[in-house]
């Protein structure tokens, strides 16, 4: 089943509309995709011109979007739209009729626009509504500087359609221009060529010359400033954060050079990062030319910057070679984690990379344990038909994908594997990839070429982890584990050994606290290291998880946890803590905090926590 659907699709020749006397045959370029109403094989968007006003008072975006389109005399084009008010539509400048299809809770509505045989462009006049899921409007109080409001968008996976009517499938690519008007005091930036200074009139013009998938169209508006790191890299942040962010990400240019060294020239000219207010739902989002990042990685010691390596790696895996459907999400994320680890190794050595890899393996083991009743969810290739693609955005795609590629690398040898990957990115640049196409390419260009046998299908189409997985070791982590064993017996710990610990060692220590550790022992550790007041958000998060599970309530920990949940909106962090509360029979407490915290969360986070806690509003 898995293989056959795409093979079938590719062998099908579709017939163009019956308006021409001679039926013209066009081979299907796009695969079937369940998360978009668009039928790009019939009529497809190619270039977007966006012209909008960002209205902070009404909390809407309003204006028009025009597309240059391609089709073989199709009589309609279908776009995706969700929670938008479509005011009117024009083709080649003249009004035309349109209609919206039935509302689907996941996908929204199909927007059908009538075309004439020679139609080249469509324009849609629209505005967003208060249900729009991609947009998060933040009050001044929710920002770092607390003086101006902030707006951010999150397009992945299928949210771009909630702020722009568009064909919202990852296998499409558009170039775009945008004119965005914002209040005078604020600056706008997009996944495009960006301004470095505030415009006096509040009008910003953007150009994105490289074609990108719609989920990568992004906008942020706030009282932000820019500081360059090198001619090709730099950071945007609110003013009070700018210096800290600049310090934290000082190695960005080195990362870029290391990445190019591994897998070829960076295709997007500029690589900047914007650090957003804490309610941003993800660690980072790889919007081309301008990664969006959470402030929770600003630790003051550059210890959490593997996030930047990850988003940078997406400039190849994801943005340049893009998953064709969300069932193939592991092609975006597994490759990116592998690439991220290689960048980290190039910059900071094998030790650090292996610690990160082992943390990834622990995440994976926990995820697989969580899916023990639904083992099909641990396949790399997913089947998300009828589900929100968000359901597939878990450790399987990332960490099992990584382990598959690392195992493959060790089997064929690094030199051959690197050559293979470099060519893979070059050959498929600015196009999409699906699992079966990747397997065929892998067989031909790596395995058969070097006469290597490998259980690729088992890794991709079966549950759990195959037995030939790479063995990853870290001496530093072994010391950490031994210290925990000793502490369990003696209640004492050699503090001097912890003095030089990296964040990764602390995280490993805390995450591996055994279930049997007593509340009294937790208190001893907290007294020694004051982990309840850890400044590093990652260490804090894993510590809170343990405190909840060990029923520990001293040293102001309950207040710390509540404050954290009230200010941070990063989905991974807050869902870890709410899960711990839920599983420790503290569901009522979780709900009590959640009711207060929910308005601070982006819809992406709120949707997940609603589901987790059974919250219905
Ligand atoms: Zn990623």
> In the prediction, which pLDDT does 429 show?
98
Residue 272 C-alpha to ligand 1 middle, in angstroms? Answer: 16
Correct CATH for 223-315 of 3.90.79.10, 1.10.3720.10, 1.50.10.20, 3.30.2010.30 = 3.30.2010.30
Cα 181 to averaged position of ligand 1 atoms, centre (Å): 30
CA 586 – CA 608 distance, rounded (Å) = 18
Q: What is the pTM of this model?
A: 0.94
The second-level CATH assignment, the architecture, of 475-613 is Alpha Horseshoe (1.25)
Q: What is the pLDDT of residue 13?
A: 37
Could you tell me the distance, in angstroms and rounded to a whole number, from the CA of residue 201 to the centre of ligand 1?
A: 36
**Contact by Cβ (8 Å): 113, 66:** no
How much is the pLDDT for 28? 75
Q: Output the CA–CA distances (angstroms, integers) from residue 460 to 295, 365, 454, 465, in the order listed.
A: 34, 17, 12, 10
Length of the chain: 617
Helix (H, G, I), strand (E, B) or coil at 142: helix
H runs (alpha helix) in 235-290: 239-248, 252-263
Angle at 111 between CA 221 and CA 31, to 5 degrees: 95
CA atoms within 13 A on the CB side of 407: 22
Per-residue pLDDT, 95: 97
Sign (positive or negative) of CA dihedral 305, 306, 310, 315 = positive
Whether the link from the prior residue into 328 is cis, omega within 30° of 0, is no
Q: Which pair of tokens denotes residue 474?
A: 């870290």
- The CATH 3.30.2010.30 portion of the chain extends over 223-315
**Active-site pick, 67, 263, 398, 552:** 398
| Phi, psi dihedral angles at 437 (to 5 degrees) | -70, -40
Give pLDDT tens digits for 308-353: 999 999 999 999 999 999 999 999 999 999 999 999 999 999 999 9
H or E, element range at 364: helix 350-370
d(CA 49, CA 153): 18
Question: Tell me: domain 2-216, CATH 1.10.3470.10, correct?
Answer: no
| Residue 311 among the catalytic residues | yes
Q: Which residues of the chain have pLDDT under 50?
A: 1-26
Give residue 290 CA to ligand 1 midpoint distance, Å: 14
- Residue 43 exposure: Cα atoms within 13 Å on the Cβ side: 25
398 is catalytic: yes
Asked if 32 and 104 count as a contact pair (C-beta separation under 8 A), the reply is no
Q: What are phi and psi of 44, to 5 degrees?
A: -135, 145
Q: How far does residue 288's CA lie from ligand 1's centre (Å)?
A: 12
Q: Nearest 5°: phi and psi at 66?
A: -115, 145
Residue listed under structure tokens 């420790």: 584
Residues of the chain with CATH 1.25.40.320: 475-613
Q: Is 597 exposed, middle or buried (0-12, 13-18, 19+ CB in 10 A)?
A: buried
Active-site choice (248, 311, 333, 340): 311
CA of 310 to the centre of ligand 1 (A): 6
Task: Quote the ligand 1 centre to 166 CA distance (angstroms).
Answer: 23
Measure 311 CA to ligand 1 centroid, in angstroms: 6
Q: What is the pLDDT of residue 245?
A: 98
Give CATH superfamily name and number for 316-461: Neutral Protease Domain 2 (1.10.390.10)
Question: In this predicted structure, what is the pLDDT of residue 617?
Answer: 82
């Amino acid at each position: 089943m898995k293989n056959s659907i795409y093979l079938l699709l590719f062998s099908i020749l579709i017939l163009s509309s019956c308006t021409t006397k001679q039926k013209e045959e066009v081979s299907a370029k796009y695969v079937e995709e369940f998360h978009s109403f668009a039928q790009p094989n019939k009529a497809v968007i190619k270039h977007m011109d966006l012209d909008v006003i960002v209205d902070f008072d009404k909390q809407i975006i309003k204006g028009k979007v025009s597309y240059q389109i391609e089709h073989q005399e199709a009589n309609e084009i279908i776009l995706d739209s969700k929670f938008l008010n479509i005011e009117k539509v024009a083709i080649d400048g003249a009004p035309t009729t349109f209609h919206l299809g039935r509302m689907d809770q996941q996908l929204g509505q199909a927007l059908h626009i009538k075309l004439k045989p020679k139609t080249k462009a469509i324009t849609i006049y629209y505005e967003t509504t208060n249900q729009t899921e991609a947009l998060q409007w933040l009050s001044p109080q929710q920002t770092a500087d607390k003086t101006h409001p902030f707006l951010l968008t999150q397009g992945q996976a299928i949210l771009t359609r909630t702020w722009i009517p568009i064909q919202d499938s990852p296998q499409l690519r558009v170039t775009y221009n945008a004119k965005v008007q914002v209040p005078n005091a604020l600056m706008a930036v997009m996944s495009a060529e960006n301004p470095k200074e505030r415009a006096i009139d509040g009008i910003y013009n953007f150009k994105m010359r490289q074609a990108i998938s719609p989920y990568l169209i992004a906008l942020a508006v706030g009282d932000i400033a820019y500081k360059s790191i090198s001619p090709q890299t730099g950071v945007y942040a609110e003013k009070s954060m700018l210096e800290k962010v600049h310090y934290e990400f000082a190695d960005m240019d080195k990362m870029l050079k290391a990445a190019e060294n591994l897998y070829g020239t960076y295709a997007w000219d500029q690589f900047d990062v914007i650090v957003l207010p804490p309610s941003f739902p993800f660690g980072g989002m790889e919007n081309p030319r301008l990664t969006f990042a959470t402030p929770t990685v600003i630790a003051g010691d550059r210890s959490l910057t593997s996030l930047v390596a990850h988003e940078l790696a997406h400039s190849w895996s994801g943005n340049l070679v893009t998953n064709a459907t969300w069932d193939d999400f592991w092609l975006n994320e597994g490759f990116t984690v592998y690439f991220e680890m290689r960048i980290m190794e190039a910059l900071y050595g094998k030790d650090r990379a292996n610690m990160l890899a082992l943390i990834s393996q622990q995440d994976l083991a926990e995820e697989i344990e969580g899916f023990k009743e639904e083992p099909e969810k641990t396949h790399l290739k997913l089947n998300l038909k009828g589900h929100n693609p968000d359901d597939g955005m878990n450790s399987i795609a990332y960490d099992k994908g990584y382990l598959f590629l690392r195992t493959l690398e060790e089997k064929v040898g690094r030199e051959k594997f690197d050559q293979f990957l470099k060519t893979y990115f070059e050959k498929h640049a600015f196009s999409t990839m699906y699992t079966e196409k990747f397997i065929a390419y892998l067989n031909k260009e790596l395995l058969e070429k070097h006469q290597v046998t490998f259980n690729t299908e088992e890794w991709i189409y079966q549950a759990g982890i195959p037995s030939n997985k790479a063995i990853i070791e870290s001496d530093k982590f072994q010391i950490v584990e031994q210290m925990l064993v000793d502490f369990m017996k003696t209640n004492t710990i050699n503090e001097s050994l912890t003095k030089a610990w990296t964040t990764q060692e602390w995280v490993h220590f805390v995450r591996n606290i055994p279930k049997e550790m007593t509340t009294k022992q937790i208190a001893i550790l907290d007294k020694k290291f004051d982990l309840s007041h850890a400044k590093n958000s990652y260490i804090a998060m894993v510590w809170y998880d343990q405190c909840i599970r060990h029923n520990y309530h001293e040293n102001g920990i309950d207040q710390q946890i509540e404050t954290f949940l009230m200010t941070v909106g990063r989905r991974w962090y807050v869902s870890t803590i709410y899960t711990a509360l839920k599983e420790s029979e503290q569901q009522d407490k979780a709900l009590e905090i959640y009711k207060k915290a929910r308005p601070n969360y982006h819809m992406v986070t709120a949707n997940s926590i609603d589901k987790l806690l059974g919250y219905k509003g």
